[in-house]
Amino acid sequence: MLQERLDLLKLTKPVRSQIDDLVRALNAASTREDLEREGEMQIALIGELESGRKVKPTDVETLYIIFDDAVQERLQSL
């Protein structure tokens, strides 16, 4: 589901590459601490993308929601 939601966004190739790295790291996280750390890293990266104007403002909000949902889903599955 995470990948499908991300596919709906029109992200540039370099941005998508960074996002894909976050997705891989999130999927590899195996403990609550790892997941929380990944969540913090995702927030930081999205903030950097926003401040650098590398994504549209509407996509920024969507990315926050997508990754927050993904982290919460992974935490519940532990």
pLDDT tens digits for 16-72? 999 999 999 999 999 999 999 999 999 999 999 999 999 999 999 999 999 999 999
Asked whether residue 26 is domain-assigned, the answer is no
Asked whether residue 53 is domain-assigned, the answer is yes
Asked whether residue 3 is domain-assigned, the answer is no
Asked whether residue 37 is domain-assigned, the answer is yes
Determine the pLDDT at residue 1.
81
Where in the sequence is the domain holding 56, given as residue range(s)? 31-78
Asked whether residue 59 is domain-assigned, the answer is yes
pLDDT tens digits for 65-75? 999 999 999 99
Asked whether residue 5 is domain-assigned, the answer is no
Q: Report the domain count for the chain.
A: 1
Asked whether residue 55 is domain-assigned, the answer is yes
HSE-CB for 53 with a 13 A CA cutoff:
0
Asked whether residue 68 is domain-assigned, the answer is yes
Determine the pLDDT at residue 66.
95
